[in-house]
Chain A
Amino acid sequence: MIENRPIITLISHITLILGVMIIAFPIWVTFVAATHDAVRMVQVPLPLWPGNHFFDNLKQAMVRGIAGGGDLGVGMMLLNSLAMAMMIAVGKIAISLLSAFAIVYFKFPFRMGFFWLIFITLMLPVEVRIIPTFEVVANLNMLNTYWGLSIPLIASATATFMFRQTFLTIPDELLEAARIDGAGPMRFFKDILLPMSRTNIAALFVILFIYGWNQYLWPLLVTTEQDMYTVVMAIKQMLETAEQAPEWNIIMMTTLLAMMPPVLVVIFMQKLFVKGLTETEK
């Protein structure tokens, strides 16, 4: 819509700017807090402009951590989080692609039954099945491993459903043409379906990576050793410092670090992300 009404333009800009400020202000406070030293952070009022301790805090957070968080730095935890988020995102996409492929392209008994079984798992997130799942993971000796962190979270009805819808839009003639060309099922999957779902895969990756990265409850349960902690749960534990005052500057620095990877994923993949959610041309 092209209109030339200065007042409306002004009002809409003010609204937008207000919205951005409301969302951005807490992040700004976090950033500012991460640039001061511990002493300044316990004085009132809280600083609103950056100080000059950013790199000191960064070094301390990465290497030493803080008293409450044990002796390990955040660096290791970032790696743990990254490994867990990647395994969840990649695993979910791989499993969902294969199950959607089976449901759409193969005729087998109880096909729709299986589809609905997968669909029903939407009603069973980790929080609901937490005790039995923990039992299984513990019995399989997967506590304090990356497998234990990621596998119980991998099954995904949403992604299966989304890929099923994508596959249904691909015309049958393509499958038939591929059959005449001599492509077997897996060849068809690899050469035709995968490249055609490229943008959907990217969009899902963004969503699932952030989902995996933000996991809190499950890592809290299955990790008991410091070197398997994820960064999200570490932030919470940094607050529990018994008699000492929490080191806000380091906590905020850790928070900043924890926010970075999802932000980077979104920034670098936003083009594909938007395409994957909106593109219909096949």
Chain B
Amino acid sequence: MAQVRLEDIQKTYPNGFKAIHGVDVDIADGEFIVLVGPSGCGKSTLLRMIAGLESVTEGTITIGERRVNDLEPADRDIAMVFQNYALYPHMNVFDNMAYGLKIRGLPKSEIQDRVKKAADILELTDDQLVRKPRQLSGGQRQRVAMGRAIVREPSVFLFDEPLSNLDAKLRVQMRLEIKRLQERLGITSVYVTHDQVEAMTLGHRLVVLNGGVVEQLGTPIELYEHPASLFVAGFIGSPAMNFAKAKITEDGGSVELDGGAAFNLPEGMYTSHANRNVTLGIRPEDLILTDTGDDIKNLTTTLAEHLGADTLVHGHFGTDQTDMTIRLSGTQYIKPGDPLPLRVSPEKIHLFDPQSEKRLV
């Protein structure tokens, strides 16, 4: 077990493309960190650099107390689970899990014990241990891939989008299993995904990457409640946060949409930003259906989507044509064109600078 420290990590490919622009992350012992971002953001590259499969152009990677920049993957005390599992097709499940241990020269009896133990944890039967990978289902292959990581008893687990080849139902199930496994073994883990639900549910902390830069690092709730930038605000949460062009009023007490609808802001928080053009962000679930109170705004609805547990209503405020999505719980029968009385509490309003795309306060 160990902490992992990334200091000013940069990666430039031989063709001059710069994939990672200086990343600093401190991962505590036993922590589950998720690297999340859209495809091409450099999250897999970063993980592969920790694994030692990509060279580090600049910066230092420390695992435990050791600088590992120039160590071979096998000497870094890590184990990795690949997206396509990367099981050796000609070896049976037992040999797949035992291969790394055999190379290390462990005695046969210990290999046997470790594989048995891992198989028990992952609920792989003796019957499955002698099968070839192609005779297993996707979920079972995934388990074997994790088993191969577990038997090594590494300091750090690395997961490279391990669930993206599974169907939706199995993905939810395996997600839970990975979470349980990590809590049980308490091994420091770094997990790469593009799926924000996976990221939110699995990680103790999330690193949101965009274009090779860390946009924000924090717990899932921090990211959800205080997104540091427009990118994080739009990336975390589903359906995505609503954005609209707006302006803070002269007294700094409210924010006004183009069409005239105004939302109250927390008192005193934005007085220094009075009269400023901003991008307003409101989460679909923060707009609450109500008919009491003096700060009700009427939404002109255009469309309603029924999901069963929720109803997603689309519409706009006043003459402002920006489409807003509102998530109402339960099934609500709403006719297009109906006005919908809504309010939002001032502290749920997110304001961003339109140029720098950073959060204002």
Contacts and interface: CB of A to CB of B under 8 A. Distances in A.
Interface string B75-86: 100111011101
A187 B103 contact: yes
B13 interface: no
A180 B78 contact: yes
Contacts of A178: 88, 99
B100 A181 contact: yes
Given A176-B53, A196-B90, A282-B89, A181 B82 contact: no
B72 interface: yes
Contacts of B134: 281
B119 interface: no
Nearest to A197: B90
Given A196-B89, A281-B134, A182 B104 contact: yes
Contacts of B99: 178, 181, 183, 191
A133 to B, nearest CB: 39
B73 interface: yes
A47 interface: no
Contact of A177 (B80, B90, B104): B80
A195 interface: yes
B82 A176 contact: yes
B192 interface: no
Contacts of B52: 179
Contact of B103 (A173, A176, A183, A282): A183
Contacts of A192: 88, 90
B72 A179 contact: yes
Contacts of A183: 74, 99, 103
A174 interface: yes
Nearest to B88: A192
Interface in A145-198: 171, 173-174, 176-183, 187, 191-192, 195-196, 198
Nearest to A180: B73
Given A195-B90, A196-B90, A282-B89, A180 B103 contact: no
Contacts of B89: 196, 282
B51 A180 contact: yes
B73 A179 contact: yes
Given A173-B82, A281-B134, A180 B88 contact: no
Interface string A31-52: 0000000000000000000000
* Size category, B interface: 20 to 34
Interface string B86-111: 11111000000001100110000000
Contacts of B72: 179, 182
A99 B327 CA distance: 62
Contacts of B51: 176, 180
Interface residues of A, number: 19
Contacts of A173: 82-84, 86
A181 B149 CA distance: 9
A182 B100 contact: yes
Nearest to A196: B90
A90 to B, nearest CB: 21
Contacts of A195: 90
Nearest to A182: B74
Contacts of A187: 103
B74 A174 contact: no
B328 to A, nearest CB: 44
A198 B99 CA distance: 19
Nearest to B82: A173
Contacts of A198: 90
Nearest to B72: A179
A180 B74 contact: yes
A282 to B, nearest CB: 6
Nearest to B76: A180
A282 B88 CA distance: 9
B157 to A, nearest CB: 11
Contacts of B87: 177
B84 A171 contact: yes
B237 to A, nearest CB: 32
Contacts of A176: 51, 53, 73, 80, 82, 86
B103 A181 contact: yes
A120 to B, nearest CB: 28
A187 to B, nearest CB: 7
A279 B111 CA distance: 33
Given A177-B80, A180-B51, A180-B73, A171 B100 contact: no
A181 B75 CA distance: 9
B291 to A, nearest CB: 57
B106 to A, nearest CB: 11
Nearest to B48: A176
Nearest to A183: B103
Contacts of B86: 171, 173-174, 176-177
- The 9 closest A-B CB pairs, nearest first, are A182-B74, A181-B100, A173-B86, A177-B86, A195-B90, A182-B103, A180-B73, A173-B82, A179-B73
Given A173-B86, A178-B99, A179-B53, 12 more contacts: A173-B83, A176-B51, A176-B82, A179-B72, A180-B53, A180-B74, A181-B74, A181-B99, A182-B75, A182-B100, A183-B103, A187-B103
22 contacts: A171-B84, A173-B82, A173-B83, A176-B51, A176-B73, A177-B87, A177-B88, A178-B99, A180-B51, A181-B100, A181-B148, A182-B72, A182-B74, A182-B100, A183-B74, A183-B99, A187-B103, A191-B88, A196-B89, A198-B90, A281-B134, A282-B89
